[in-house]
Amino acid sequence: MTTPQISSPSHLLSPGRRHLLRWVMPILLVLLFLMTLIWLPRQAQQMESSERQEQLIADSLWVEQAIRFQLSRDDESMRLIAREIVGEHLKKEQFRTRLNALLRNNREFYRVTWFNVDGKPMASTDDFPVARNALSVPSQQTEEHSRTIRRPLYSAPAVPPGIAEPVLMDYHIPLFRDNHYIGSVVASYSVSRVLNEMVPWWFAQDNEIVLTDTDDKVVARRTAGGPGLNVYTHRRELELPGLTLRLHTNSTKSAPKLLPNLLVGSVIVLSLGLLWSLWALWRDINRRMTAEDALVNEVSFRSAMENSLVTGMRARDLEGRITYVNPAFCKMVGISANELVGKIPPMPYWAPEAMDEYQERFSNVLAGRVTPQFETIFQRIDGERFPVLIFESPLVDQNGKQTGWMGSILDITDRKRAEDLNRMQEEKLQASARLASMGEIASTLAHELNQPLAAISSYTTGALNMMQNGALDPASLQPALEKINTQAQRAGHVIRSVHQFVKKREPERQPISIKSIVDNVTPLIELQAQQFLVVLQTAIPANLPNVLGDAVLLEQVLLNLTRNAIQAMAAIAPERRILRITAALDRNTSSSQSSQQAIIVSVIDQGHGIPPEVAAGLFSPFFSTKAEGMGMGLNICRTTIEFHGGTLTYANNPTGGTIFRFSLPAQGSTN
């Protein structure tokens, strides 16, 4: 038995009807689109007009409240002044001083006048106060009414007689003492200033603001943004004691256009939507075809990148278990990836001597606290230790959830070797700097040694002459021999100072006194000072505590600083060429009740000082203002002081010149 086939409704329709149905839907959509284009701009215009009108009303209410609030504050200030006058706490001599601060902060006031019972001004903020009968007619009428009802009142805005402007609005406060009228205080407001000071600038930029009386007579106008267009307007009553004003706001904005850019934008958006739909369809068809090729390429690229890296990569989950290592990390530790993936601490590349450090960092990992960057030691499979620098960062999946930690590991063995080499080079550079320093004073050194040698020669010649003449007397020969011994010791002291300063040696930190350092280097400083006619003065207390340091390195610092100071005074008047070396104990107490003492050594000159453009690179390597300088003196000085745990700074000398200070921790300074 054959099952009858049921035809679909589309098969029952003729080809003409199917063709008609294909066009009905697009036509309906086009008609709907046209109706939307007609209705939407008009609706948008009405909505925009309503929003602008509502915004204008809301802003007008806010401005009205702002004016009321400021006038209320002014009213309280004036009533306080009136009470002080009635209570005789404010004298007329103090009136202007008392009111000046108020008028500076409230520029809407024109003047404030205190009248006595006869209407004569007792005091005023004006230089030339006016009598009560010089006020405007509305103001005089308000004054009489205010005195009758015993309440403060505002007068109608008017121009006082005899002047062209401004329009003033007077606020009358009657003064009564024991029910007897004793005068009044009149605060005159400039109506134009009320608008300028109390209406925000942003509101005035978009609106014309007008104050009128009840007869719609304009008393003040503010048009910072131009005249209003009478499209959006609003009027508010401003009720004041004894006075009613009207606040008119007229927006400078025009009515919205019927066909804004919304129409063009709608067409563009609909057209782009159609194009995007066609493009999205084509994209979806091709996406499935290219997804597999892209995945293969991505895997190949990632494998090639991982194999080319020299930086070790290690991924761990939130429990510290290794989930991934790259070939560079395996090569670094000498362990294959199969042996590392899935391992939990302790790791086979951990050095036994640093196990406590590793366990502490692993505890921080489990607690969600990872140090972003740190140095440690790993060991290879053969037991060789090597330093590494590790960078750790959170590992986040595609949903933004943290799944572990990713670390980058760098073998910094070569960097450590470079740092050691750099330190050795710096020590050699310090020795070279000492030799260069001695080269600068070589000529002066020869002159200094020539004096004791010449004296020795003269005393020896004299002694020989006495022996040849047969007049040898031990008593007369002894002074000459003593002088010869003194001059020989002087020359030997200079030579020993130079020898100790320039000889190459490893730094030795031992307890030494600042006074001994200064005394040891004083002969060398005096050699340079004599060349430039500089007077050396020292002020080193004998009871200063010792410091822990290398005497020769500290002597080099002191010699470099004093040489710079001496050269800085070469071009100034001879009477100002004074070089001072001082030392003092400085004590700083912290909140933890521990005290730390430091010895501050200052090298003070009265030279040309340090210009601002030179100060920026003063301690930079190879920076020098001298044609023959290497630019390493101050840099070496700072490095040496920081090696001793101190700091090197400079400041301008108040009497001219520069003050270089370096601090050194005193022994036994921490309690």
Alpha helices by DSSP H, 309-385: 327-333, 337-340, 355-366
> Tokens representing 525?
């400083």
Give how far Cα 32 sits from Cα of 26, 28, 38, Å. Answer: 10, 6, 10
Q: What percent of the chain has pLDDT over 90?
A: 14
- Please say if the pLDDT value at position 592 is more than 60: no
Please choose, from the candidates 161, 157, 86, the residue with its C-alpha nearest in 3D space to the C-alpha of residue 116.
86
Instruction: Give the angle subtended at the CA of 658 by the CAs of 656 and 661, to the nearest 5°.
Output: 140
* Position 660 confidence tier, pLDDT thresholds 50, 70, 90: very high
Give the tens place of pLDDT for each residue, 440-468: 555 445 545 655 665 566 567 666 666 67
Q: What pLDDT, on the 0 to 100 scale, is given for residue 25?
A: 65
Contact assessment for residue 389 and residue 373, using Cβ atoms and an 8 Å cutoff: yes
Question: Is pLDDT larger for residue 369 or for residue 438?
Answer: 369
> Tokens representing 2?
């054959």
Q: What pLDDT, on the 0 to 100 scale, is given for residue 633?
A: 63
Give the tens place of pLDDT for each residue, 50-100: 888 888 888 888 888 988 898 999 999 999 999 999 988 888 888 888 888
Q: What pLDDT, on the 0 to 100 scale, is given for residue 404?
A: 84
Give the tens place of pLDDT for each residue, 22-32: 566 666 766 67
Alpha helices by DSSP H, 246-326: 261-308
- The fold of the 508-671 domain, in CATH, is Heat Shock Protein 90 (3.30.565)
> Tokens representing 491?
């020359």
Q: Which class is domain 308-411?
A: alpha beta
Contact assessment for residue 431 and residue 342, using Cβ atoms and an 8 Å cutoff: no
Summary mean pLDDT of the chain? 78
- Please say if the pLDDT value at position 7 is more than 70: no
Q: What pLDDT, on the 0 to 100 scale, is given for residue 202?
A: 86
* Position 631 confidence tier, pLDDT thresholds 50, 70, 90: very low
Distance (Å, rounded) from C-alpha 212 to C-alpha 223? 15
Averaged pLDDT, 507-528:
83
Give the tens place of pLDDT for each residue, 108-146: 888 899 999 988 999 888 887 888 888 888 998 999 999
Tally of helices (H runs) and strands (E runs) in the chain: 17, 21
The identity of residue 457, as a single letter, is S
CATH for the 413-506 domain, from 1.10.357, 2.60.40, 1.20.58, 1.10.287: 1.10.287
Does this model's pTM top 0.75?
no
Q: What pLDDT, on the 0 to 100 scale, is given for residue 599?
A: 93
Give the tens place of pLDDT for each residue, 377-424: 888 888 888 888 888 888 888 788 888 888 888 888 888 787 777 767
Averaged pLDDT, 575-600:
75
Q: Give 523's strand partners.
A: none
Lowest mean pLDDT among 165-174, 287-296, 392-401, 461-470: 461-470
Please choose, from the candidates 444, 375, 383, 462, the residue with its C-alpha nearest in 3D space to the C-alpha of residue 411.
375
Contact assessment for residue 326 and residue 309, using Cβ atoms and an 8 Å cutoff: yes
Contacts of 261 (CB under 8 A, 6+ apart): none
Contact assessment for residue 136 and residue 160, using Cβ atoms and an 8 Å cutoff: yes
- Please say if the pLDDT value at position 486 is more than 80: no
Contacts of 351 (CB under 8 A, 6+ apart): 377, 378, 379, 385
Q: What pLDDT, on the 0 to 100 scale, is given for residue 174?
A: 94
- Beta pairing, strands 121-124 & 153-154: unpaired
Question: Is pLDDT larger for residue 293 or for residue 94?
Answer: 94
Give the tens place of pLDDT for each residue, 200-257: 888 888 888 899 988 889 988 988 888 888 888 888 888 899 899 999 998 888 776 6
Q: Do you find a cis peptide bond into 545, omega within 30 degrees of 0?
A: no
* Position 628 confidence tier, pLDDT thresholds 50, 70, 90: very low
Does residue 200 sit in helix, strand or coil?
coil
Tell me which range, 27-41, 208-222, 340-354, 465-479, is most confidently predicted by mean pLDDT. Answer: 208-222
Please choose, from the candidates 303, 304, 318, the residue with its C-alpha nearest in 3D space to the C-alpha of residue 395.
318
Q: What pLDDT, on the 0 to 100 scale, is given for residue 547?
A: 92
The identity of residue 262, as a single letter, is L
Q: What pLDDT, on the 0 to 100 scale, is given for residue 671?
A: 39
* Position 435 confidence tier, pLDDT thresholds 50, 70, 90: low
Q: What pLDDT, on the 0 to 100 scale, is given for residue 2?
A: 41
Contacts of 227 (CB under 8 A, 6+ apart): 208, 250, 252
- Please say if the pLDDT value at position 582 is more than 90: yes
What is the full DSSP assignment across 358-377?
HHHHHHHHHTT---SEEEEE
Give the tens place of pLDDT for each residue, 317-334: 888 888 888 888 888 888
Q: What pLDDT, on the 0 to 100 scale, is given for residue 26?
A: 61
Q: What pLDDT, on the 0 to 100 scale, is given for residue 52?
A: 82
Neighbours of 480 (CB within 10 A): 16
Question: Is pLDDT larger for residue 410 or for residue 308?
Answer: 410
* Position 504 confidence tier, pLDDT thresholds 50, 70, 90: very low
DSSP, res 256: P
Q: What are phi and psi of 119, to 5 degrees?
A: 85, 10
The identity of residue 447, as a single letter, is H
Q: What pLDDT, on the 0 to 100 scale, is given for residue 498?
A: 56
Domain ranges of the chain: 60-254, 308-411, 413-506, 508-671
Q: What pLDDT, on the 0 to 100 scale, is given for residue 440?
A: 52
Lowest mean pLDDT among 148-157, 271-280, 362-371, 559-568: 271-280
Percent helix, strand, coil in the chain (nearest 5)? 50, 25, 30
Please choose, from the candidates 582, 580, 439, the residue with its C-alpha nearest in 3D space to the C-alpha of residue 501.
439
Q: Give 8's strand partners.
A: none
* Position 11 confidence tier, pLDDT thresholds 50, 70, 90: very low
Which CATH superfamily includes the segment(s) 60-254?
CHASE domain (3.30.450.350)
Question: Is pLDDT larger for residue 361 or for residue 29?
Answer: 361
Question: Is pLDDT larger for residue 171 or for residue 635?
Answer: 171
- Please say if the pLDDT value at position 198 is more than 50: yes
Distance (Å, rounded) from C-alpha 375 to C-alpha 366? 20
* Position 593 confidence tier, pLDDT thresholds 50, 70, 90: very low
- Please say if the pLDDT value at position 186 is more than 90: yes
Assess whether the region 60-254 and the region 308-411 belong to the same CATH fold.
yes
- Please say if the pLDDT value at position 555 is more than 60: yes
